[in-house]
Amino acid sequence: MTHPQETLPDPNVKYGERIIEEGRLITFPNPRPGRRYHITITLPEFTCKCPFSGYPDFGTIYVTYVPDQRVVELKAIKLYINSYRDRYISHEESANQILDDLVAACDPLEITVKADYTPRGNVHTVVEVTHKKGE
């Protein structure tokens, strides 16, 4: 029996869609704070929608960062990246938004996000954005 204020999950929303929608970037303590090392994450199934045409855009997101006190949990970043699937967002804005969200989540010493989009209509776009702590 459900209480009047409880709501049941929408049966039309698949469990994976619900997990992606609820997803957020999760971090954990850097196991080697003070040691300078690089973490590289490749996300080869990135997709979003063109804000002008609505056509899907596909690409690979490369994240390379030097952690400070926090490290991004891999399943969380996968779900976070999947949340772009139905967003109408430009190549430039998606790369910048991913960078901003990762900086907010783990405050790395430095980070680069490279968004390498699959060519469409004979155009190949790569957007690379960087951040260094304190700059």
What are the tokens at 62? Answer: 């490369």
Active site residue 106: no
**Annotated active-site residue in 10, 48, 57, 106:** 57
Active site residue 101: no
Separation of alpha carbons 86 and 106, rounded Å: 25
CA-wise closest residue to 25 among 89, 73, 93, 69:
73
Separation of alpha carbons 50 and 94, rounded Å: 11
Separation of alpha carbons 46 and 57, rounded Å: 8
**Annotated active-site residue in 10, 48, 50, 106:** 50
Separation of alpha carbons 18 and 15, rounded Å: 5
Catalytically active residues, by annotation: 50, 57
